[in-house]
């Protein structure tokens, strides 16, 4: 029997090739988001110990300093949400990659705490644009039936970047210092932007949603991306009449948007809190500074492997239950990390915690990207990312407060575990997208020939 998606795709091979290029470009960009996230935690012990680098600062200031990039991401995401559904995916992605690359390079020359924090904020602006655009873009190019998997590939770039930062920190920190590690973060400007310029197309679905019919059909022909689903969504009335943030807070999406934002809040609080403070927490358990760098490596490796594996389950059975389950897994793993287990078992629990924290956030991005219709997608993802950044900002600050108060690592793990449990509850409460399910069912009927007359034949492509 012909698979439904194969029947609606004008050229499945061309569509798959386009999706693979888009996934590669976005994933590589997000690798450097993850790199930026973890590299600060990697170099933080050295900056605290050596005031000659950017000046003297304490652990509370370190938590605040770690949050400046996240504040920039928050602002960048909100700006992207305001304009992304009007200006398209391609231009914003190119701008965001170039912006954060330059920001990371210039940060390497900071000589004061103030300058370092300001440049981290500037870098975050570009990262926010990339993060908010990434999910919307991939959702519109990924083949139907594989969208969670493609989103997992894309957003696995974040923990993969964490792995890269951990490895380079272990291998190169003593040789090139923290400044050299930040310069590495500028590589996308010279390596990725030229590829993206030629290989990242504008979304045919976005063009159609904006009423640019001829351009949408031409883009569909070039990329192999079918437009039938977008046409059915418009015909069924699935999408709200408004665009951007106005659509996100329409009657259809308002309550889900709040809950989806809270999911990201919990996921990113865990992600940024653990990546910033895990090396320092493990030092408190008696592990040396160099040795403790292996713990973020285990955390991020677990997230990459777990996110990709679980995305296949999410495509088959829906992402909601999978995400709720991985949040619970995070709670259990974080509690177990407080016990004095043998080192191999401890690394196992840290890897499972990675699945339940960073891996969960990978699945959350995919869930959010596909929950919204095209005319609200960039704004919806940006809204969720922005609410999430408040959690990301709070995560390092909580770690800083606990460290300054001399409170042990067990308390930090319990707090983060409780946040994961809240995330599971919020996930369960997100209502189903019944209108979108109705549109998907109608697409299947059209493919099977039962309602083919409902859409003119020339528009089935």
CA distance 29 to 300: 17
Domain count, the chain: 1
pLDDT digits (tens, 9 = 90+) for 97-132: 999 999 999 999 999 989 999 999 999 999 989 988
Domain extent, residue 242, equals 4-459
Is the model's pTM score more than 0.95? no
Q: Which residues contact 251 (CB under 8 A, 6 or more apart)?
A: 240
Mean pLDDT over 209-223 rounds to: 87
CA distance 442 to 452: 10
Cα distances from 376 to residues 89, 156, 253, 319, 387, in angstroms, run 13, 24, 9, 20, 16
More confident residue, 230 or 166: 166
User: Residue 111: phi, psi to the nearest 5?
Assistant: -125, 5
pLDDT digits (tens, 9 = 90+) for 311-343: 888 888 888 999 999 999 999 988 888 887 777
CA distance 300 to 271: 10
Question: Residue 139: in which H helix or E strand, if any?
Answer: helix 113-141
CA distance 378 to 80: 8
CA distance 364 to 29: 18
pLDDT digits (tens, 9 = 90+) for 340-392: 777 788 888 888 888 888 888 888 988 888 888 777 788 888 888 888 878 88
Q: What is the CATH number of the domain that holds 89?
A: 1.20.1250.20
Q: What is the SS3 assignment for 54? A: coil
CA distance 357 to 274: 9
């Amino acid at each position: 029997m012909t698979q439904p998606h194969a029947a609606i795709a004008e050229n499945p091979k061309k569509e798959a090739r386009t999706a693979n290029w888009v996934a590669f470009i976005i994933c590589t960009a997000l690798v450097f988001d993850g790199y930026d996230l973890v590299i600060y935690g990697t170099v933080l012990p050295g900056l605290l110990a050596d005031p000659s680098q950017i000046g003297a600062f304490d652990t509370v200031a370190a938590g605040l300093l770690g949050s400046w990039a996240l504040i920039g991401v928050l602002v960048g995401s909100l700006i992207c949400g305001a304009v992304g559904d009007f200006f398209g995916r391609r231009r914003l992605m190119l701008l965001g990659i170039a912006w954060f690359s330059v920001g990371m390079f210039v940060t390497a020359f900071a000589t004061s705490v103030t300058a370092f924090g300001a440049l981290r904020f500037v870098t975050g602006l570009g990262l926010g644009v990339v993060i908010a655009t990434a999910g919307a873009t991939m959702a519109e190019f990924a083949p139907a039936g594989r969208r969670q998997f493609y989103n997992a590939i894309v957003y696995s770039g974040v923990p993969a970047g964490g792995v890269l930062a951990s490895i380079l920190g272990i291998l190169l920190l003593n040789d090139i210092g923290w400044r050299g590690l930040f310069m590495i973060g500028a590589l996308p400007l010279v390596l990725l932007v030229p590829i993206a310029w030629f290989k990242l197309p504008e979304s045919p679905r976005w063009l159609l949603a904006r009423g640019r019919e001829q351009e949408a059909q031409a883009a569909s022909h070039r990329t192999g991306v079918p437009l039938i689903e977008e046409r059915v969504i418009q015909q069924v009335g699935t999408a709200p009449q408004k665009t951007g943030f106005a659509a996100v807070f329409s009657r259809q999406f308002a309550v889900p948007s709040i809950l989806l934002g809270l999911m990201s809040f919990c996921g990113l609080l865990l992600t940024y809190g653990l990546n910033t403070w895990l090396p320092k927490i493990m030092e408190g358990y008696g592990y040396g500074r160099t040795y403790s760098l292996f713990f973020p490596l285990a955390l991020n490796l677990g997230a990459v492997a777990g996110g990709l594996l679980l995305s296949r389950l999410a495509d088959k059975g829906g992402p909601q239950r999978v995400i709720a389950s991985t949040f619970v897994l995070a709670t259990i793993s974080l509690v177990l990390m407080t016990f004095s287990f043998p080192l191999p078992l401890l690394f196992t629990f840290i890897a499972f915690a990675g699945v339940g924290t960073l891996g969960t956030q990978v699945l959350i991005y995919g869930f959010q990207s596909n929950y919204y219709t095209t005319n609200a997608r960039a704004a919806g993802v940006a809204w969720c990312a922005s609410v999430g950044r408040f959690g990301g900002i709070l995560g390092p600050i909580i770690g800083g407060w606990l460290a300054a108060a001399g409170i042990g690592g067990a308390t930090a793990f319990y707090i983060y575990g409780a946040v994961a449990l809240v995330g599971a509850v919020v996930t369960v409460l997100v209502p189903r997208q019944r209108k979108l399910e109705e549109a998907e069912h109608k697409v299947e009927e059209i493919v099977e020939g039962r309602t083919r007359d409902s859409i003119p034949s020339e528009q089935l492509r």
